[in-house]
Amino acid sequence: MLIAVAATASRMMKREKERSGLKAMRRAIKEATFNRHGFSAKNNLLTRTNKVFSHFVLTWKKNSSLQKKLFVVRIRIFLLWVGCAGWLYGRPQTPDAIFAPNIATPQLYMPGDALGYPVLRLNTPDQLQLEFDDLDGDVKNYSYTYQLCNADWTPAVLSEFDYIKGFSQVRIGDYRYSSIALTRYTNFRARIPDANCIPRRSGNYLLKVFTDGDTSKLAFTRRFLVTDEKVNINAQLMTPQNYELMHTHQRIQFTVNVAGVNPSSPQEQIKVVVLQNERWDNAVHDVHPTFYNGNNLEYNNDNDFVFPGGMEWRWIDLQSFRYLSDRIKDATYGKTSTDIFAKPEPSRSALSYYFYKDYNGEYFIKTSESVNPHYQGDYARVHFSFVPPDNTPYPDKDVYIIGQLTSYALNDSTRMRFNADKGMYEASFFLKQGYYSYSYVTVDRNDPAMNTSFAFTEGNHLETENDYMILVYYRAPGSQADELVGRFAFNSLNGK
């Protein structure tokens, strides 16, 4: 009798140890749950995975054969989850980038307004025009999808079913082969969004165009915004109080009335971003309100939202390759290609300000001939030259061309090379017929942030005409994505 009781107690103690081991394993997996509110994901994932496998070793030694089998199944599920998380959060999410060398002139704009920033209003019939050329000149199976992003363009941790109504992918079936043009290409077009693939949340969106129904075969990306305006914004342009900046920079101050979202913790739930000339590379963000006045958040600190004024943007008219506009020095015409040589351009940093109408770094596709610019417009290799003072290269600085024609990218393809024989910086780009505005900037080689500067190439002036856009984001309690609840755009000259 006593022996039977002792055996039963021994089995119960053994099972309790097994249950304790499984509980430890469950706790380890729970503790290793991906930190969805931070994007130092790679390091977190590795650290927490190591913790899980430390528990795995200890638990494996204690468990019975049956429990080991169950344990292996759980570990396999966990590994699958780790793989999916690593794939999702480790993939590049570069906005406004071209990944396929055969892609040229990708554009996303308001229909009828090629210079309009791509913005959709939530739950309205608004649409955008997508257009790009495939220089292979054939037909490929292109599709697009959306990625919802937070205010800082990190991917929102949501299933696509949470922010896309309908299908997650749409094939692009509208295309035409080029004609007349020397350059052979295929022009693809689409209206965004399709009726079967509609954004259901406001926020920052990344349009991804890819081939063969495979999102890993990414061709290019473009940003667009979906707004659900619930806050009111009042803004004005001010002269900086800092004497060193008051003649060269522009300061934005504004008030946001957040009664429409009624945040319980405005400092944590409200984010603002200010863009100059629709540029994300020098956007000002992560700024808290200077004052809280009831439902009004006031942003009026003297040192916040201060932008260099720059100079009116340079331009080149390529609407015709036969007629050479006044910014073009020469052209070479071959049987299959054309080379356009722009006039060498000196630094304007020492010049006084003078006004002329410009397009603030944007471009549009158009021809002066009676042809369709979308599939009959031609391409040319356009050569740019920038002449530094005394024909001497800037020490410890690189020179870049920026504008929408380069997507404001700072890389080897946009960096100009100094030609010692000519005493000038040179770069060339394959451009379609149209009208382009651009600027030259310098970047300090010792600056890891690669901040751009007009100071040595264009100069900065308080009077320069610039466009500004204020974006207000709201993170609801328990939400995993930023909503775009306010947008206000105005011009520095007229406030509209």
Q: Are 382 and 427 in contact (CB under 8 A)?
A: no
- Residue 494: its pLDDT value, please? 86
Q: Are 428 and 385 in contact (CB under 8 A)?
A: no
Q: Which of 9-23, 85-99, 119-133 has the lowest mean pLDDT?
A: 9-23
How much is the average pLDDT of 66-93? 50
Of the candidates 158, 130, 295, 128, which has an alpha carbon nearest to the alpha carbon of residue 227?
128
Locate 429 and state its tokens.
């780009």
Q: Does domain 232-309+466-491 have CATH number 1.25.40.10?
A: no
Distance CA 466, CA 357 (A): 11
**pLDDT band with cut points at 50, 70 and 90 for residue 32:** very low
**pLDDT band with cut points at 50, 70 and 90 for residue 63:** low
Of the candidates 302, 297, 231, which has an alpha carbon nearest to the alpha carbon of residue 474?
231
Instruction: Return the domain boundaries, the chain.
Output: 15-32+40-89, 103-227, 232-309+466-491, 314-453
Distance CA 454, CA 29 (A): 51
Q: Are 115 and 109 in contact (CB under 8 A)?
A: yes
Q: What angle do CA 188, 144, 361 make, to 5 degrees?
A: 65
- Residue 72: its pLDDT value, please? 52
E strand or H helix at 148: strand 142-149
* Cα dihedral value 103, 171, 94, 465, nearest 10: 70
**pLDDT band with cut points at 50, 70 and 90 for residue 8:** low
- Tens digits of residue pLDDT in 295-321: 999 999 999 999 999 999 999 999 999
Question: What's domain 103-227's architecture?
Answer: Sandwich (2.60)
How much is the average pLDDT of 218-245? 97
| Averaged confidence pLDDT in the chain | 88
- Tens digits of residue pLDDT in 479-496: 999 999 999 999 999 887
Q: Which residue has the higher pLDDT, 474 or 92?
A: 474
Cα-flanking dihedrals φ and ψ of residue 447, to 5°? -100, 105
Distance CA 138, CA 186 (A): 6
List own/partner pairs for 455-459 with CB under 8 A and 24 or more apart.
455/308, 455/349, 456/347, 456/349, 456/388, 456/394, 456/397, 457/347, 457/348, 457/349, 457/386, 457/399, 458/310, 458/311, 458/347, 458/348, 458/349, 459/310, 459/311, 459/348, 459/349, 459/350, 459/351, 459/353
Burial code (b: 16+ CB inside 10 Å, e: under 16) for 74-93 equals ebeebeeebeebbeebeeeb
How much is the average pLDDT of 387-413? 97
Q: Are 172 and 142 in contact (CB under 8 A)?
A: yes
Distance CA 152, CA 332 (A): 44
- Tens digits of residue pLDDT in 149-187: 999 999 999 999 999 999 999 999 999 999 999 999 999
Q: Are 384 and 427 in contact (CB under 8 A)?
A: yes
Q: Which residue has the higher pLDDT, 86 or 365?
A: 365
pTM confidence score: 0.82
Q: Which of 34-38, 89-93, 180-184 has the lowest mean pLDDT?
A: 34-38
- Residue 496: its pLDDT value, please? 73
- Residue 139: its pLDDT value, please? 97
Can 103-227 and 232-309+466-491 be said to share one CATH topology? yes
In the chain, the percentage of residues whose pLDDT exceeds 70 is 81
pLDDT above 90 for 75: no
- Tens digits of residue pLDDT in 326-382: 999 999 999 999 999 999 999 999 999 999 999 999 999 999 999 999 999 999 999
Q: Are 484 and 472 in contact (CB under 8 A)?
A: yes
In the chain, the percentage of residues whose pLDDT exceeds 90 is 80
- Residue 55: its pLDDT value, please? 53
- Residue 35: its pLDDT value, please? 35
How much is the average pLDDT of 29-41? 37
Task: Please tell me the total number of residues recorded for the chain in this structure.
Answer: 496
